[in-house]
Amino acid sequence: MLRPALTLLALVSLAQAQTNPAAAAAGQWRRTHEKAIVSEFVEFLSIPNIGTDRPNIRRNAEAIGKMLQQRGVTPQIVEFPDANPVVFGEIRTPGANRTILVYAHYDGQPLDPKEWVTPPFAPVLRSRSIEKDGQVIPLESATYPLDPESRLYARSASDDKAPIMAMMTALDSIRASGTRLHSNIKFVFEGEEEGSSAHLGQILAAHKALFSADVWLICDGPVSQTRQQLVAFGARGVTTVDITVYGPRRELHSGHYGNWAPNPAMMLARLLTSMKSEDGRVLVDHFYDGIAPLSDTEKRAIAEAPAPDAELMKELWLGATDGAPKKLIELLQLLSLNIRGMASSRTGAQASNVIPSTATASIDMRLVKGIDRDTTVARLLEHIRKQGYFVIGSEPAAEVRLAHPKVARVTGGGGYNAVRTSMDLPISQEVIRVVESARGPVVKVPTMGGSVPLEMIEKAVGTHTITVPIANHDNSQHSFNENIRMQNLWDGIELMAALIAM
Amino acid sequence: MLRPALTLLALVSLAQAQTNPAAAAAGQWRRTHEKAIVSEFVEFLSIPNIGTDRPNIRRNAEAIGKMLQQRGVTPQIVEFPDANPVVFGEIRTPGANRTILVYAHYDGQPLDPKEWVTPPFAPVLRSRSIEKDGQVIPLESATYPLDPESRLYARSASDDKAPIMAMMTALDSIRASGTRLHSNIKFVFEGEEEGSSAHLGQILAAHKALFSADVWLICDGPVSQTRQQLVAFGARGVTTVDITVYGPRRELHSGHYGNWAPNPAMMLARLLTSMKSEDGRVLVDHFYDGIAPLSDTEKRAIAEAPAPDAELMKELWLGATDGAPKKLIELLQLLSLNIRGMASSRTGAQASNVIPSTATASIDMRLVKGIDRDTTVARLLEHIRKQGYFVIGSEPAAEVRLAHPKVARVTGGGGYNAVRTSMDLPISQEVIRVVESARGPVVKVPTMGGSVPLEMIEKAVGTHTITVPIANHDNSQHSFNENIRMQNLWDGIELMAALIAM
């Protein structure tokens, strides 16, 4: 076994592996400024950042602008009709003949505050994760340096404000240590990533020169479950679809109509069951047709990547996985179809003896290179029709419901396609070298499981994208109790310093 | 065709059919006192009555006691440990040699106020149903007599405070008109019916003499969809079961784990699908084994009952029904298995790209004579096990989830069995005669679809039960926007007067 130690919680010492002076200086800076970093980060996380909350979104953009300004970078707030602003900043380096652009997003996933242990926009420091019974450490009485296993809990603590904080701190260190830059640097902070980057393509196209760069480094997503640094050369695409099926016009008493009135929850269960086999294979016709094959380098990277599947199952209390015996990293190179939410009438204390009137499922489908978003949605629609449904894109009128035994309202689509940058490109090889010099051995992933709007970036500004995440894998991003492990933020600061100075 | 007019909204004139003097006097009384009746009813409906809301439940019991007292009936509040109080009242009629007991319940189904157009405990009068665009009529400016098609909206407007209001008004009329009673009359108002009458059996057993009667008339449920009066000689039993299946310990990012981490929503969909065939037949082994056969009188009653299925489908916007070509009334004589609610993660604006951690369905099963509640639950549990699940009755620990590919937590049970009183008994025949004298031709149903705790009543006090409902079928009971059509309340007053005077 030539691989480094892979146990999930092992803290791999990087002291020997770190040969990058910008990263070393950033580490030094961080160790003497932890309190100020946490204080600034907590203030930033306290600004609510749900994409539809326009006033607070603007406060976030302004806060980022201020953070840049304080580091000597003049911010530019890029506006576009109906869009949340993009915050831009630039450092021109005398004599540099290339431009590195670092990207992060400042909006967060929608949420239900009731599900959170502490309010999502009142950041809380805990000694460990909640799952490990981490206790709250009041910020005013925290002792520095912090335990590297402590965590900050807040929406976007990981996804995706941590990279923004890491970049800002890297800038502080670069300025204080007099670290020399070798490239022009651009900063882009998007405000609609969790809304499928609805306007990013248009915004980039409208300001092509502003956003042009030799490479876009996408700072989003988690590192390996082994806690090793990870570099991803692509990301799955994504599209989401909401399906509502219909029973009686109004909820009915389940005694007086049960056996006779069709139950939409049961109809939906049957429809969803038809979409996947018991072992997780999608049964929609032609779903997997057109996947672009992996190159030899990509196949090798997958084979060499750690496979912490067994440890992950233990961590996640899973007695089985879909797609076995294939490993997680292999399965992420394929399309997926996932029920992200499902609802019909009420459960728990509010449940009552009714036949529901409607049942809804929200589905996301992850796409891989070679697979088109719209084609995939069309294949799913065809599948729903094959199950006997009349498919409609809006709320069906009484006549429609009366005319068809089964009616499904399907809305959504949108999203974007997958992208995969060749690992054999010189810029790809150089990013790997720089990241390894800062963070030691790197897990190289052809396509990461999550989605970032790489396609529209590449199309709009004609560049390559490479993803360099910093968050811990167990950060609960997109869910309640999102958090960042402090050591991941510290590592991220060093990584960002190395990339900015590359 | 010997049947009366069956169109759903036909107002059948009962003037000629009504030969019952008590009912006639009650009709007269109501026409001159509508405003006072509505005012008292609104006050009663304004008291929240969810069974777990103990302080308000007590206020309801006290309000009923006061209503009885005002009509010269001394109320008795019957207490039992941990139970909501039962309100009892009695009229001893000199020379009477039998006792008629009328029963209703004052608790209402749980609810989610967000689903209601107007708050559930702030009663609102509308010119028609909400579905027919009925407009709000401010109570202070309503003109009397009210349009009989107007409706009062509130939790328990139908289920089951309307019969209580009808009994009280019938008492007013009986006292004012000097109508002579022929039986001893007992009133019983329960406060836990929507909680499966958890303590009723024990309460009755503890006060057997108090609650003894020649017949219990259960005033609950809706009349026929044709608006004809209905008498039911039994009711389906009911038991409810909550099923939760498990995916990863915490919600996971659907990109980084989709295809690999089992999705509990999909698991639940598959499990639910396994329980029923596409045409609505329950596939649980032995589910239908043991049903008591119908007598010739019962078969004839079903054959003679109106079958408004086609009109109902139109009213409910249904393009198909389960169990076709069997009619609604036939299907209600069978067991049912119904998903009353289903939930996993979030849908709509709060949906996020996660693999949910759990998925839950709440199921109610309606039982018929000959089928035991516990046997039915055991059959369902066996079915779940046959689908590969490890079944547990409490939240499964990490070790349990790790040891089994599929884990289902199943809780619930409880409820009660079905009861069917012979239509050939003298008391059955007499009730039919009295009801027909008050309300014209009657739809006779061996077993109504809904459930009332007849079994524990019959067991505890050794009597027969017959159900005489008054609510409109389209009352949204058990759901949001519950309502009573005014004409149904008016008809109910006449019916109650006839039964009390019988």
To the nearest whole Å, the CA of B473 is away from the closest chain A CA by: 9
Boundary residue ending a domain (A361, A385, A416): A416
Q: What is the CATH number of the domain that holds A273?
A: 3.30.70.360
Whether residues B342 and A265 touch (CB distance < 8 A) is answered with yes
Across B147-167, average pLDDT? 98
Per-residue confidence band for B479, with pLDDT thresholds at 50, 70 and 90: confident
The answer to whether the CB of B216 falls within 8 A of the CB of B455 is: no
* A108 and A216, same domain (yes or no): yes
To the nearest whole Å, the CA of A71 is away from the closest chain B CA by: 33
Kindly report the average pLDDT of chain B as a whole number.
94
Boundary residue ending a domain (B359, B384, B416): B416
**A294 CB-near residues (< 8 Å, 6+ apart):** A302, A333, A446
* B376 and B470, same domain (yes or no): no
* A41 and A171, same domain (yes or no): yes
Interface membership of B21 toward A (CB under 8 Å): no
Measured CA to CA in angstroms, residue A339 lies from A242, B262, B263 at distances of 10, 11, 7
**B367 domain residue, yes or no:** yes
Q: Sort out which chain B residues have CB atoms less than 8 A from A51's CB and list them.
A: none
Using the structure block, give the residue that is written with the tokens 């240590």: A177
Whether residues A322 and B362 touch (CB distance < 8 A) is answered with no
**A384 domain residue, yes or no:** yes
**A291 domain residue, yes or no:** yes
- A115, closest residue in chain B (CA to CA): B345
Answer yes or no: is pLDDT of B13 > 80. no
Per-residue confidence band for A477, with pLDDT thresholds at 50, 70 and 90: confident
Boundary residue ending a domain (A388, A416, A444): A416
Kindly report the average pLDDT of chain A as a whole number.
94
Among candidate residues A168, A175, A218, A176, the one with its CA nearest the CA of residue A68: A168
* A486 and A442, same domain (yes or no): yes
* B445 and B473, same domain (yes or no): yes
Give per-residue pLDDT as tens, B326-364: 999 999 999 999 999 999 999 998 898 999 999 999 999
* B380 and B488, same domain (yes or no): no
Q: What is the CATH number of the domain that holds A211?
A: 3.40.630.10
Give per-residue pLDDT as tens, A210-239: 999 999 999 999 999 999 999 999 999 999
What is the model's pLDDT at position A3? Answer: 37
* A136 and A26, same domain (yes or no): yes
Interface membership of B269 toward A (CB under 8 Å): yes
Residues 123-142 of A with CB under 8 A from B: 131
pLDDT: which is higher, A278 or B11: A278
Among candidate residues A269, A446, A360, the one with its CA nearest the CA of residue B363: A269
Note down the domain range covering A280. Answer: 237-302+333-416
How much is the ipTM here?
0.85
Tokens of B442: 């009657």
Tokens of A130: 């909640």
Please give the tally of structural domains in chain A: 2
* A271 and A131, same domain (yes or no): no
Answer yes or no: is pLDDT of A13 > 70. no
What is the model's pLDDT at position A479? Answer: 87
**A350 domain residue, yes or no:** yes
- B195, closest residue in chain A (CA to CA): A352
**A16 domain residue, yes or no:** no
Interface membership of B378 toward A (CB under 8 Å): no
What number of helices (H) and strands (E) belong to chain A?
A: 15, 21
Instruction: Among B245, B333, B347, B481, pick the best mutation site for testing chain A contact (most A Cβ within 10 A).
Output: B347
**B265 CB-near residues (< 8 Å, 6+ apart):** A272, A339, A341, A342, A361, B344, B345, B356, B359
What is the model's pLDDT at position B2? Answer: 34
**Residue B279 per-residue DSSP state:** T
* B228 and B80, same domain (yes or no): yes
- B237, closest residue in chain A (CA to CA): A255
Examine residue A364 and say whether the peptide bond preceding it is cis (omega within 30 degrees of 0): no
Tokens of B136: 């709000």
**B141 domain residue, yes or no:** yes
Give per-residue pLDDT as tens, A25-69: 999 999 999 999 999 999 999 999 999 999 999 999 999 999 999
Interface membership of B277 toward A (CB under 8 Å): no
Q: Sort out which chain A residues have CB atoms less than 8 A from B250's CB and list them.
A: 131, 316, 474, 476, 479, 481
Q: Sort out which chain A residues have CB atoms less than 8 A from B405's CB and list them.
A: 319-320
Q: Sort out which chain A residues have CB atoms less than 8 A from B349's CB and list them.
A: 52, 110
Measured CA to CA in angstroms, residue A344 lies from B272, B363, B456 at distances of 13, 12, 32
Across B290-318, average pLDDT? 96
Instruction: Among A244, A254, A400, A443, pick the best mutation site for testing chain B contact (most B Cβ within 10 A).
Output: A254
Whether residues A353 and B340 touch (CB distance < 8 A) is answered with yes
**A327 domain residue, yes or no:** no
What is the model's pLDDT at position B417? Answer: 95
Give per-residue pLDDT as tens, B47-100: 999 999 999 999 999 999 999 999 999 999 999 999 999 999 999 999 999 999
**A275 domain residue, yes or no:** yes
What is the model's pLDDT at position B16? Answer: 52
* A133 and A156, same domain (yes or no): yes
Q: Sort out which chain A residues have CB atoms less than 8 A from B336's CB and list them.
A: 254, 258-259
* A104 and A72, same domain (yes or no): yes
Give per-residue pLDDT as tens, B298-307: 999 999 999 9
Residue B300: its H or E element = helix B296-304
Q: Sort out which chain B residues have CB atoms less than 8 A from A360's CB and list them.
A: 347-348
Interface membership of B260 toward A (CB under 8 Å): yes
pTM for the model: 0.84
What is the model's pLDDT at position B257? Answer: 94
Give per-residue pLDDT as tens, A312-364: 999 999 999 999 999 999 999 999 999 999 999 999 988 989 999 999 999 99
Q: Sort out which chain B residues have CB atoms less than 8 A from A265's CB and list them.
A: 272, 339, 341-342, 361
Alpha-carbon distance A19 to A15, whole Å?
Answer: 9
What is the model's pLDDT at position A423? Answer: 97
Tokens of B211: 């609650």
Residue A88, CB-side half-sphere exposure with 13 Å CA sphere: 18
**Residue A113 per-residue DSSP state:** G
Counting beta carbons within 10 angstroms of the beta carbon of residue A140, is it exposed (0 to 12), middle (13 to 18) or buried (19 or more)? Answer: exposed
Answer yes or no: is pLDDT of B8 > 50. no
Give per-residue pLDDT as tens, B255-265: 999 999 999 99
Across A148-156, average pLDDT? 98
* A374 and A246, same domain (yes or no): yes
